[in-house]
Chain A
Amino acid sequence: MISEYKINKKELNFIPNHIYNKGYVYKDHFIFEKKKLNDFAIFIGANEEIAEKKLIAFTNHLKEHKPLAYKQIQDILKDEEKHAEYSLRFAKNNNSLFSYKIKLSKEKTLSFFRHIYANSLNKFSFIFNPILITIIVLISFVAHFLKLKKKITDEDVMKNIEPNSIT
């Protein structure tokens, strides 16, 4: 993709921290650390299935204009399909049918809401940004007076520093 479409590598960088903000993963632990193996398998199965559907919709846009990218994504789709299949097969074998169905629909519902939340972040900004701008303008007045001491020199750093202070 880099050579065919002259995409700079920068554009392909994946920054894991960004997905914390959107609520897909948790900052303070890995998902597999908190979930039991059966629940984790259902989580993976349900979400890989959803990811597969989303990728199919995405590749339909690429099919005609970017055939190489389309082909590469088809390979990724095969992986997604396998992950979903294996995880769900494991979960099916290790849960009663009723419990499996309940857990699967719970994961799909949660994922649905996560997507709604992630897709709505811009809309939230539309509502909250004017409030934040007002706060910022107010702070700008306060900031004029609140000037932390900036020292170009300090004769005795250890004596003048307050160790327990965050300022």
Chain B
Amino acid sequence: MFYIGISAYYHESSVFLTDNNGTNCFLKEESFSRIKGDKNFPQRCIKFLIKKFDLKNENIKSICFYEKPFRSWWEIFSYSIKNPLQNKDFLIHHLKNFNKGSIFFYTDINKLINVSRDKIVYSSHHLSHCLYGSSLIKNISDYVYVTCDGVGEGETMSIYTINDEYKIKKIWTNFYPNSIGLLYSTITDFLGFEINEGEFKVMSLSSFGNPIYKNELKEIFDINNFTIDMDYFEFHKNPGKSFSKKLCDVFGEPYLNITEEANFKKYANIASSAQLILENTMDNLIQKAINLSGKTKVILTGGVALNCKMIHNLSKKNIFEEMIVPPSPGDSGSAIGATNFAFLEQSKSKMLDFNTVFLGPQKKFINKIEIRDNFFTKINLTSDFANETSTKLIEGEIIASYYGPNEVGPRSLGNTSIFCDASNRETVNKLNLKVKKREYFQPLAPVLLEEDFEKYFSINKSIVKNLEWMGTLCDAKEELYDKYSSIIHVDGTCRTQIVKDEHSLTYKILKNFKENGSDILVNTSFNISKDPVVFDLYDVYVNMKRMNINFVIMDDGLYQTKDI
């Protein structure tokens, strides 16, 4: 019997299926539709699952949506309707889109599969975040669960605890519009980046500036009481605009071209100030969570937790014993939390727990072998293809990887990645700017064996677990500057991934790579900027051709693209 969790309609849509007996399948709609961050109902994912698992009413235990649809719609609406004429543009838009949101989730599901109504359940938005976090750990009662995002069902910050009998307690909540997430998104919009996509660019940009606008931002958002001054915003009035003229009076003109030096410096200062306010707010929130719960281990979820620079800086304040940010802390990962809700709701005294972040389908489950042979030629001469791959990497080759199960979360952790030698500056620059077409101020991330981490990097022990899925930054040591300076960000940090699993192909490649004289690979996701990560072999072939990458390592060997 399968439990299915679904997150959709507002951020990148995803589906998670499990039987709690070793069969797990996490999918994102963008993988099928090829629309980055696709938020539509994940019908293509569900069709894939129906086909692969022969899903029908009889073998489905429960399907859980990650939030309460009407509450989610109403809470935003009810804030703006306090001033109906002033906020009429937003209200009209919201009313017109009533039928396009999650209200008709049951109808959308039933178009694809006939499931009896009692099998459809609805979790709560922040509860789904919290339950996703709990699925990653064993001792659930040792932690306090903090969620912080833009808004979900009218909530912007929540604190939960869970005891050993699986009793979940919500110990504090903050409500819309008092949202640090929406403030950060508004700054993202102001700087000319796309909301829900560009926040990580603001984070990278912040390292180039100084927080000279921190006092102005503290006027806008009270970091102690977590309240916001709505005079600076328009998102409650106008669906197409997030900030008001008053914010422009503080920061000047929005949407300037940052390729000009003066604009770049100014926008870097704004980004730096927003980053500082975010970190101060989260510092206060986590201290509040620790004080209220009496627990010093923290699970942080919600879209705000994707800010790995914040995690790194918070760890330096030594306010918690441990902090874990799951690999997909945003709404996409909530599909797993929703599944956990359905499971707990049925069992009453059990929760799902996974000891891996690779919950996606295996590549051989996605593809037929004939397709591979149509597009690729196996080129390795010996069975030791990990070694051959390492040799090619040392020679300066850029190699894609496509093996094992897919990762959960926005970061590729080796199984759908592009690798190159981090000590080869020329290749790293080529990969970043020409192949991936990223912004020049965004550094690439390194990956290395766990045993080599301390040789090159330092990190507070409290956040070390997050290195397994690039969930935090760490500081570069002098030794790194000698040979691998191309992967160090301007502020001396790196978003490093460590590999522990000796059975993984990534581990074997790194081990061979080390024997060939280099310890660190660059690991970036297997996609062109603004495209989703590759999913099937067609995507692999098309992306390799577009990026001029010749080699890809798969489960059973090293392959080269054919000319078709």
What residue of chain A has the Cβ atom nearest to residue B198's Cβ?
Answer: A10
Distance in Å: Cβ of B451 to nearest Cβ of chain A: 42
Binding site for A on B (CB under 8 A): 35, 39-41, 43, 68-71, 74-75, 77-78, 81-82, 84-85, 88, 91-92, 95-96, 103, 105, 117-118, 120-124, 127, 154, 160, 166-173, 175, 189, 192-194, 255-257, 259-260, 344-345
Q: Is the CB of A154 within 8 A of B71?
A: no
**Contact present for A166 and B96 (CB under 8 Å):** no
Q: What is the CB-to-nearest-CB distance from A26 to chain B, in angstroms, rounded to a whole number?
A: 11
**How many angstroms from the CA of A6 to the CA of B43 in the assembled complex?**
40
Which residues from A are CB-within-8-Å of B257?
2-3, 6-8
B169 touches A154 (CB 8 A): yes
- Cα–Cα distance between A132 and B122 once the two chains are bound (Å): 30
Residue of B nearest to A33 (CB): B44
The reply to whether A165 and B68 form a contact with Cβ atoms under 8 Å apart is yes
Once the chains are docked, how many angstroms separate the CA of A163 from the CA of B118? 9
Question: A127 interface residue, CB < 8 Å from B?
Answer: no
| Binary flags per residue of A136-151, CB closer than 8 Å to B gives 1, else 0 | 1101100100011011
What is the bound-complex CA distance between A104 and B166, given in angstroms?
Answer: 64
Q: Which 10 A-B pairs have the closest CB atoms?
A: A8-B255, A163-B121, A154-B170, A157-B168, A8-B192, A10-B192, A166-B70, A140-B84, A166-B69, A167-B70
Identify the closest chain B residue to A163 (Cβ). Answer: B121
Can you list 6 A-B contacts with CB-CB less than 8 angstroms, sorted by A residue number? A6-B256, A129-B92, A135-B95, A153-B171, A166-B105, A167-B70
Which residue in chain B gives the minimum CB-CB distance to A161? Answer: B124
Asked whether any CB of chain B lies closer than 8 Å to the CB of A9, the reply is yes
Residue contact B259 to A158, C-beta cutoff 8 Å: no
Chain A residues near B69: list those with CB within 8 A.
166
Chain A residue contacts of B167, Cβ below 8 A: 156, 158
With contacts A154-B169, A157-B168 taken as known, whether A10 is within 8 angstroms of B193 at the C-beta atoms is yes
Contact B88 A133 (CB under 8 A): yes
Say whether A153 contacts B122, CB under 8 Å: no
The docked-state distance in angstroms from the alpha carbon of A133 to that of B92 is 7
* Other-chain residue from B40, B71, B85, B172 in contact with A166 (beta carbon distance below 8 A): B71
* A28 interface contact, C-beta 8 A: yes
Minimum C-beta distance from B265 to chain A (A): 16
Q: Is A106 part of the contact surface with B, judged by Cβ < 8 Å?
A: no
Residue A11 interfacial (CB < 8 Å): yes
Binding site for B on A (CB under 8 A): 2-3, 6-11, 13, 16-17, 27-28, 129, 132-133, 135-137, 139-140, 143, 147-148, 150-158, 161, 163-167
Within 8 Å by CB of B68, from A16, A129, A133, A167, lies: A167
Residue in A152, A156, A161 whose CB lies within 8 Å of B172: A152
Residue of B nearest to A142 (CB): B81
Bound state CA distance, A139 and B98, in angstroms? Answer: 14
Q: Which residue of A lies closest to B160 (CB)?
A: A157
Chain B residues within an 8 Å CB radius of A139:
81, 84
A2 to B166, CA, bound (A): 55
- Report how far A132 CA is from B171 CA in the complex, Å: 39
Distance (whole angstroms) from the CB of A8 to the closest CB of chain B: 4
Chain B residue, CB-CB nearest to A155:
B169
Whether the pair B168, A156 counts as a contact (CB closer than 8 A) is yes
Chain A residues with CB under 8 Å of B169's CB are 153-157
Q: In the complex, are the beta carbons of B171 and A158 less than 8 A apart?
A: no
Q: Which residues of A contact B43 (CB under 8 A)?
A: 28
Are A166 and B192 CB-contacts (below 8 A) given A151-B170, A151-B173, A156-B169? no
A34 to chain B, nearest CB (A): 13
Say whether A153 contacts B92, CB under 8 Å: no
Instruction: Give every chain A residue within 8 A of B71 (Cβ-Cβ).
Output: 148, 166-167
In the complex, what residues of A have CB within 8 A of residue B95's CB? 132, 135-136
> Are A164 and B118 in contact, with the CB atoms below 8 A?
yes
| Set of chain A residues within 8 Å of B154, measured between Cβ atoms | 150
Query: With A136-B91, A156-B169 known to touch, is A3 a contact of B35 (CB < 8 Å)?
Result: no
B residues less than 8 Å from A137 (CB atoms): 84-85
Q: How far apart are A11's CB and chain B's nearest CB, in angstroms?
A: 7
Q: Cβ of A164 and Cβ of B259 under 8 Å apart?
A: no
Whether B122 lies near A157 (C-beta < 8 A) is no
A119, chain B: closest CB distance, angstroms: 18
A129–B95 CA distance with the chains assembled, in angstroms:
11
Q: Smallest CB–CB gap between A74 and chain B, Å?
A: 24
How far is B78's CA from A19's CA once the two chains are assembled, in angstroms?
28
Query: Which one, B88, B194, B260, contacts A13 given CB within 8 A?
Result: B194
Known: A11-B255, A137-B85; 8 extra A-B contacts, CB below 8 A, are A8-B255, A135-B95, A136-B91, A143-B81, A153-B171, A157-B169, A164-B120, A166-B68
Residue pair A10, B118 in contact (C-beta under 8 Å): no
Instruction: List chain B residues, Cβ under 8 A from A165.
Output: 68, 122
Enumerate chain B residues within 8 angstroms of A129, measured Cβ to Cβ: 92
What separation, in Å, do the CA atoms of A113 and B133 have in the docked complex? 50
Residue of A at shortest CB range from B69?
A166
With A27-B40, A139-B81 as known contacts, state yes or no: A153 contacts B75, CB within 8 Å: no
* B88 surroundings in chain A (CB, below 8 A): 133, 136
Query: Which residue from chain A places its CB closest to the CB of B197 in the assembled complex?
Result: A13
By beta carbon, the residue of chain B nearest A9 is B192
Q: Assuming the A-B contacts A132-B95, A136-B84, A167-B71, are A153 and B103 also in contact, with contact meaning beta carbons closer than 8 angstroms in the complex?
A: no
